[in-house]
Structure 1
Amino acid sequence: MPRDPRHDILFEPITFGPKTMRNRFWATSHSTGYGSERPGIQAGFRGMKAEGGWGVVSSDFCSIHPESDEFPFTSSRLWDDGDIINLGHLTDEIHKHGSLASVQLWYNGMHSPRLEARETARGPSPLPSNVFPERNVYAAYADKDDIRAIINMYILGAKRAEQAGFDIAEVSGGDSTIPLQFLETRYNHRTDEYGGSLENRARFYIELMTALKKAVGDTMAVTTRFEVDTVNGDHRIKHFDEGSKFLEIMEKEGVVDLWGLKIGDYEEWGEDAGSSRFRKPNWASGFIKGAKDIVSVPVVSNGRFTDPDAMVAAIRNGQCDIIGAARPSISDPFLPTKISEGRPDEVRECIGCNMCVGRMQQQALMYCTQNATTGEEYRRGWHPEKFTKVTEPEAVLVVGAGPAGMECAVTLGRRGYLVHLRDSATELGGHWRDVSKYPRCGEYGRLIDYREVMLSKLDNVQVQLGVPEMTADDVLEYGAEKVVIATGSHWSPVGLGPETHSPLTNVNASTMPNVLTPEQVMAGKDVPGRNVVILDGDGHFTGFAMAEMMADLGKNVTIVTNTHDIFEFSKFTMEMPNNKRTMHSKGIKYIRNHWATELKDGKLQLFFLYKDSAELTEQRPGEWGRTFSDDVVELDCDALILTTTRVSNSQLFTDLRAQQDRWSEAGIAAVYQVGDCVQPRHAMDAVFDGHRLAREFESPDPQRPLPFIRERQVWGHETFPKLGDARPVVEGNLLV
């Protein structure tokens, strides 16, 4: 299908410094957890973006020196020649597809944990980190010799980057790195020529960019990513004040080839990487608008862009010249190609759930809810748009059209299998359909939308909705050769939770009108009374959604959780600050480190998790070695909503396994299960599970994953396992 001519501007080349990019799509820098020490995963992941049509593909944030050691967080590094070799694989993959490779040079001063290198970081003033106060992290005062040393670190980092094949040297002037620490008054308390006035505070940034331009500017584009507004209190850099004035100062210097503009500092990174629950696409446009009137070089603007019409508008209205994207390039590396080929309906749009960010914040490898192949390009050999076609298609029945079932059906269908996808609900999505209707979660529905589009384009896949819930007999009589059970999970109606692993006393949402699960709330079950308690053991967004819904209905809402902070997983997805702001503005109260025991006479009885004494007493038969308090907290509770834990809907699979002797007669070769019906999990992992099973459907036992390539040092030997190796059998008798 031809490209929509309205989108042609997105495919016009643009020049900055000595470089020309082929279009207006820039996959901007973001962390992955892969770093420069997993060169295979890193190169496979970034190279896929280049293959998908991104004109520039950026690296992770890249530490330039052990003083900026981010461990336990994983950055790329340009510390020595070994890093040149590893990152060279990344640039090779990017260049293979005609894209430019950009590296983000990073020195984080007081905010670098330095738990591996154990070196001393320097900064404009000797202050502790406000981002990692629990790590007791400080910066040492940087005198003028130190300032020259830090600038030299950047120069050496840029030269190593050039040797590794990078085309663009981007200085991180965001996320409260050292250029911003000099610029921002809360970090810079100096009284010399590097402190005080804006011109003085800008001096380090100017000297740094000038030195880089002189060192590598003939062969590399020298750019910077800058926070025009840190959106963080009265001390902040404000766009219409010092943010704009700083751009004017730098414009006069003429040492920046291109600007990447953003908002939010390290402490408020959630405003830069805004989740869709709080920030809609292009939310920062009001802060960035007007910058192009100040600078004469191209401007890159991020905003979780997935709609080509919105991209064109951002360019034509003067917001930017180039569309920057981190999360959309993760969710669909082939976004530019699909727009170019007139297939924007097939774009796997980012849902803004921030699970990618959450993985990094957990110091883990980055994956994606929408794109199951993220991070698997090298280690499993997966391609997001290419699938091994099956030579002898079998008839496959997939029972359950939630995230795992949909993904499994789409992937099997793209491989050529004859698939029937059945669900008793009248719409696709399983429990995710409810999730997409929660307050603020509308964009989560994109997970369903993409798969609905792809299913509609697969003639070999039949979708059957609103059918009777299948029993084991129904499955056995259906006529499928293989069966995949993807029946999901449900919220516990009896308050089973992570703290006691036991039901609550006198609590049952199935029989009691004043006890509810989220499914019942979304189905319209009445919530009686005024005082509503949310008992949350999940720690993610569902409890928050229930609380906000109840507050909007005028209820008096209290959240009780066993965790140390409220909705604790949201600290990983960068949503906790805005969760708390919302709860504060809506009068939602919360109690932490407590759990419930019983609902009785309109009172929910709670206990403090640490009610036992710190001292250990002498152990005696029949006694516990601590002294306990009998304190009980009672909450007025007219209605109790349970987001305590999810329970697998595994009965159909269990029933089928119990009748395995009938499979052969029914023509069934195998029955598998995927997603939450195996174990409750994040949607990201359920989608992966459905995808993986479909990719490995011809393996000896698809229920068990095939090995993946592990990148690690094996002294004196080559790396193993290889793709295609069989995983050792662990069930049954082992031969010794």
Structure 2
Amino acid sequence: MASKRPAKYDILFEPIQVGPKVMKNRFHQSPHCIGAGSDKPGFQAAHRGVKAEGGWGAINTEYCSIHPESDDTHRVSARIWDEGDVRNLRAMTDEIHKHGALAGVEMWYGSSHAPCMETRCTPRGASQYASEFETLTYCHEMDHDDIRQVQQYYVDAALRSRDAGFDIVNVYGGHAYLPVQFLSPYHNKRTDSYGGSFENRARFWVETLEQVKNAVGNDCAVASRFAIDSLYGTAGVEVEVDGIKFIQLADDLVDIWDIKIGDIAEWGEDAGPSRFYRQGHQIPWQKFVKQHSKKAVLGVGRFTDAEKMAEVIRNGELDIISCARPSISDPFLPQKIEEGRIDDVRTCIGCNVCISRWEIGGPPMICTQNATAGEEYRRGWHPEKFEPAKSDDTILVVGAGPSGSEAARVLMERGYVVHLADSSEKIGGHINAVATLPGLGEWGYHRDYREVQLDKLVKRNRDSQLALGGQALSADDVLAYGADKVIIATGSFWNGDGTNSLTHDPIPGIDSARPDHATPEQILGGTKELGKKVTILNSDPYFMGPSLAELLAARGHEVTVIDGVGFGNYMHFTLEAPNMHRRLHELHVNVIGDTWVSKVEDGRIQTYNIWGDGSRREYRGPGVIPREENRTYEWHDYDSLVLVTGRSSHDGLFRELKARRDEFAKNDIKGVYVIGDAWAPKIMADATFDGHRIAREIEEANPQLPIAYKREASVWGAAYLPDGEFRQEWRV
């Protein structure tokens, strides 16, 4: 499609020289983890390749280990250790080059932050200390022989990267990894020629850049990712002190500066969740680099808006816009800007669920907005292309939340006639309420994208319709509706009786029908007045409990949390936890952990310590628990009780329809299916995936169950590589 972009965005599409290479535009997909590494070359190539197709000028690997001493297992990194990795990563570079984009590799040596659980190697570092990020991980303090050897690892990795087809080699000095550890006095306690003064602390990094430049600089652009401010004050690197001095010192050794802030222990200060940070939040630090460098400068900051992207380049703050999460949410973001289709962009909501899946250690990476992320190879899904409908079936989708709206969107994209019915007047389901919680306004982009697309699709196919704001459909209504297939996406609800993950039972005395007991829906819907002294019962590990605690405390309530599962534990994976806990501390929220509830009476709640039943157990016969009686019971007073104890599927309609399946044939119904929270409560990304999947597979014999996906696996007895060539090249 020809360019229809406004002239103000032209600057984003100007080519830029980076060493011996030319980027075709200013869009750079920064290194980010997807769970593919080097062992799933199909996944790696397909995911990166679709971004090249979508218009990104340069696309990078995730952090790519240069040697077995830098092993991050249980997490999944790429590796460039040997010829097998070269061959596997070439699949990625070949796919990127098909679309005229550059391929970049982020060369990583993690030092003390590399736990080496698989390789069982010992990492080396500037000084010996326990990692502030990993558990029980120490590095070996380098002597000068060690320094020479590790620098050679970088050179060898750069040469292998060139052979794998990479155009840009990035010496990774961000997130408190080895080069910036040498520079930072927080990590570097040496007293030799590699410690003490700025010039000494900079020496390792400068020498490494020199050696990499000499090895591959004629063939590849040399970049260096630099955490220009560790946010530790004088204890670490500060942008206007050592940060700028290093830029001036090493400027002639790089072709591109890749600028970020923060460390690894709280790397949410870099990959800032939208709960706390807007797009471009790193510019106050990044903007100093252009004032002191003659080279191209790129920077991340979850840039989602073309206006902001063009602004920071016009202002001379950056030369290149680097994105990780926005490129996951919409791999075709550059092309859509180029074509003037801004309203078709799937805007990243900044929930960091993509990061959470990698942090847990489980591939593939997922995305709340883009259900095809991570599925490009194994399921063959493309974010912008859909197989045409294979039948004339009409489809009724009941429920317009994340799952139902996505199912309806994809079905309409495929050409099906779809009616999307919901008693609410707006699509979005529970997101309409969640987006009103403190800091979560951008989560509403999930709803907004589907609302815009569904409106367009309905106009394109007049037989489809959005049936919003009417009476909720009954089983009789569905049976008589006239649809060939029915998808139930009626969501879930918070338990009003205290049923929870610890006891799997209701809590005696709890009833959300009482005026002083409230579920999250009742609070966000404004149907319950709360007293001054609020107690939140929490056995859900994600965002609802902390968000309600912040909301109510900010409104002036005295908030106490009774928590039995780790308050906001999942938010450690989304990088929200540190600042969330700081915020609750600021608001004087009292969190009582390792505690649960035995019963509730008027105005008071009986709690117990969940570990109060003794460490010894013995067989005591039937009907007698094998531990001591818990004697830690205490009473606490409250004015209002908020129930964040667990969720249940709103599946009554589906179950009634299933019980009446003998009526399907006479009503010409071929099948009734259930998706999203109505099948089982889940995070929004998985509910969206459910809707997307069933829409892709609606013609299968039983769309309720996913079809098999393609697995990349080593099969016992088969060669590691297709022709059996595998040479071990560890230099230990």
| Short-chain TM bin | over 0.9
- Looking at structure 2, the residues matched to 332 and 679 of structure 1 have their Cα atoms a distance apart, in angstroms, of 27
User: Residue 518 in 1 paired to residue 516 in 2?
Assistant: no
8 Å CA contact retained: 1:231, 1:268: no
User: Residue 306 in 1 paired to residue 304 in 2?
Assistant: yes
- Looking at structure 2, the residues matched to 317 and 587 of structure 1 have their Cα atoms a distance apart, in angstroms, of 41
Deviations 1:271-295 (A, max 9, x none): 1110000111111111112210100
* Letter of the structure 1 residue corresponding to residue 574 of structure 2: T
- Looking at structure 2, the residues matched to 529 and 702 of structure 1 have their Cα atoms a distance apart, in angstroms, of 48
Give, in angstroms, the shift of residue 427 of structure 1: 1.1
Q: Normalised by the size of structure 1, how large is the TM-score?
A: 0.95
- Looking at structure 1, the residues matched to 600 and 47 of structure 2 have their Cα atoms a distance apart, in angstroms, of 51
Partner of 2:6: 4
Partner of 1:482: 485
8 Å CA contact retained: 1:69, 1:113: yes
- Looking at structure 2, the residues matched to 360 and 621 of structure 1 have their Cα atoms a distance apart, in angstroms, of 44
8 Å CA contact retained: 2:613, 2:631: no
Give, in angstroms, the shift of residue 391 of structure 1: 4.0
> Percent identical across equivalent pairs?
46
Partner of 2:500: 497
Q: 1:657 to 1:285 in 2, by over 3 A?
A: same
8 Å CA contact retained: 1:230, 1:268: no
User: Residue 416 in 1 paired to residue 415 in 2?
Assistant: yes
Partner of 2:157: 157
Give, in angstroms, the shift of residue 484 of structure 1: 0.6
**3-state SS in 2 of match to 1:587:** coil
What pairs with 1:327-476 in structure 2 (closer than 5 Å)? 327-365=325-363, 366-458=365-457, 459-460=460-461, 461-476=464-479
Deviations 1:210-268 (A, max 9, x none): 110001101000101111111235513121222222212223xx101110111111112
* Letter of the structure 2 residue corresponding to residue 682 of structure 1: I
**3-state SS in 2 of match to 1:361:** helix
Give, in angstroms, the shift of residue 6 of structure 1: 1.1
- Looking at structure 1, the residues matched to 498 and 617 of structure 2 have their Cα atoms a distance apart, in angstroms, of 31
**3-state SS in 2 of match to 1:590:** strand
* Letter of the structure 2 residue corresponding to residue 413 of structure 1: M
- Looking at structure 1, the residues matched to 154 and 240 of structure 2 have their Cα atoms a distance apart, in angstroms, of 30
- Looking at structure 2, the residues matched to 232 and 581 of structure 1 have their Cα atoms a distance apart, in angstroms, of 16
8 Å CA contact retained: 2:420, 2:466: yes
Give, in angstroms, the shift of residue 716 of structure 1: 4.2
- Looking at structure 2, the residues matched to 622 and 323 of structure 1 have their Cα atoms a distance apart, in angstroms, of 65
Give, in angstroms, the shift of residue 517 of structure 1: 0.7
- Looking at structure 2, the residues matched to 148 and 320 of structure 1 have their Cα atoms a distance apart, in angstroms, of 34
8 Å CA contact retained: 1:123, 1:139: yes
8 Å CA contact retained: 2:390, 2:699: no
- Range with bigger deviation, 612-621 or 687-696: 612-621
Partner of 1:530: 532
8 Å CA contact retained: 1:593, 1:608: yes
- Range with bigger deviation, 106-115 or 240-249: 240-249
* Letter of the structure 2 residue corresponding to residue 488 of structure 1: G
- Looking at structure 2, the residues matched to 467 and 622 of structure 1 have their Cα atoms a distance apart, in angstroms, of 52
Give, in angstroms, the shift of residue 140 of structure 1: 0.5
8 Å CA contact retained: 1:301, 1:319: no
- Looking at structure 2, the residues matched to 612 and 137 of structure 1 have their Cα atoms a distance apart, in angstroms, of 34
Give, in angstroms, the shift of residue 615 of structure 1: 2.0
User: Residue 699 in 1 paired to residue 697 in 2?
Assistant: no
Partner of 2:184: 184
- Looking at structure 1, the residues matched to 564 and 337 of structure 2 have their Cα atoms a distance apart, in angstroms, of 46
**3-state SS in 1 of match to 2:615:** strand
Uncovered stretches (5+) of structure 2, i.e. residues with no partner: 721-732
Give, in angstroms, the shift of residue 432 of structure 1: 1.2
- Looking at structure 2, the residues matched to 615 and 105 of structure 1 have their Cα atoms a distance apart, in angstroms, of 50
* Letter of the structure 2 residue corresponding to residue 230 of structure 1: S
Q: Normalised by the size of structure 2, how large is the TM-score?
A: 0.96
* Letter of the structure 2 residue corresponding to residue 625 of structure 1: P
User: Residue 214 in 1 paired to residue 222 in 2?
Assistant: no
Partner of 2:321: 323
8 Å CA contact retained: 1:232, 1:265: no
Partner of 2:23: 21
Partner of 1:558: 560
Give, in angstroms, the shift of residue 385 of structure 1: 0.4
- Looking at structure 2, the residues matched to 158 and 363 of structure 1 have their Cα atoms a distance apart, in angstroms, of 27
- Looking at structure 2, the residues matched to 621 and 518 of structure 1 have their Cα atoms a distance apart, in angstroms, of 40
**3-state SS in 2 of match to 1:475:** helix
**3-state SS in 1 of match to 2:628:** strand
Deviations 1:653-685 (A, max 9, x none): 011111111111112111111100000000000
What pairs with 1:85-124 in structure 2 (closer than 5 Å)? 85-124=87-126
- Range with bigger deviation, 83-92 or 619-628: 619-628
- Looking at structure 2, the residues matched to 583 and 128 of structure 1 have their Cα atoms a distance apart, in angstroms, of 29
* Letter of the structure 1 residue corresponding to residue 149 of structure 2: A
C-alpha RMSD over aligned residues: 1.3
Partner of 2:683: 682
Deviations 1:161-198 (A, max 9, x none): 11111010001110111001101112111001110111
- Looking at structure 1, the residues matched to 717 and 125 of structure 2 have their Cα atoms a distance apart, in angstroms, of 42
8 Å CA contact retained: 2:546, 2:567: no
- Looking at structure 1, the residues matched to 342 and 119 of structure 2 have their Cα atoms a distance apart, in angstroms, of 46
* Letter of the structure 1 residue corresponding to residue 599 of structure 2: E
* Letter of the structure 1 residue corresponding to residue 128 of structure 2: P
What pairs with 1:56-67 in structure 2 (closer than 5 Å)? 56-67=58-69
- Looking at structure 2, the residues matched to 258 and 368 of structure 1 have their Cα atoms a distance apart, in angstroms, of 29
- Looking at structure 2, the residues matched to 433 and 684 of structure 1 have their Cα atoms a distance apart, in angstroms, of 16
8 Å CA contact retained: 1:232, 1:268: no
- Looking at structure 1, the residues matched to 653 and 402 of structure 2 have their Cα atoms a distance apart, in angstroms, of 18
8 Å CA contact retained: 1:407, 1:451: yes
* Letter of the structure 2 residue corresponding to residue 189 of structure 1: K
**3-state SS in 1 of match to 2:419:** strand
8 Å CA contact retained: 2:545, 2:567: no
Deviations 1:492-515 (A, max 9, x none): 111111000111111111x20111
Partner of 2:250: 250
Q: 1:344 to 1:621 in 2, by over 3 A?
A: closer
- Looking at structure 2, the residues matched to 464 and 622 of structure 1 have their Cα atoms a distance apart, in angstroms, of 54
Q: 1:623 to 1:492 in 2, by over 3 A?
A: closer
Partner of 1:194: 194
Partner of 2:276: 278
8 Å CA contact retained: 1:186, 1:235: yes
- Looking at structure 2, the residues matched to 82 and 154 of structure 1 have their Cα atoms a distance apart, in angstroms, of 18
Deviations 1:307-359 (A, max 9, x none): 11110001011110000000000000000011101101100110000000000
Partner of 2:40: 38
Partner of 2:725: none
**3-state SS in 2 of match to 1:598:** strand
- Looking at structure 2, the residues matched to 718 and 144 of structure 1 have their Cα atoms a distance apart, in angstroms, of 40
Deviations 1:72-124 (A, max 9, x none): 11100011111011101011111111110000000000110111111111101
8 Å CA contact retained: 1:482, 1:671: yes
Deviations 1:378-436 (A, max 9, x none): 11111000001114332111000000000000000000000000100111101111111
Partner of 2:730: none
* Letter of the structure 2 residue corresponding to residue 24 of structure 1: R
- Range with bigger deviation, 415-424 or 600-609: 600-609
Uncovered stretches (5+) of structure 1, i.e. residues with no partner: 720-736
Aligned residues: 713
Give, in angstroms, the shift of residue 607 of structure 1: 1.2
**3-state SS in 2 of match to 1:406:** helix
Partner of 1:726: none
Give, in angstroms, the shift of residue 640 of structure 1: 0.9
- Range with bigger deviation, 199-208 or 386-395: 386-395
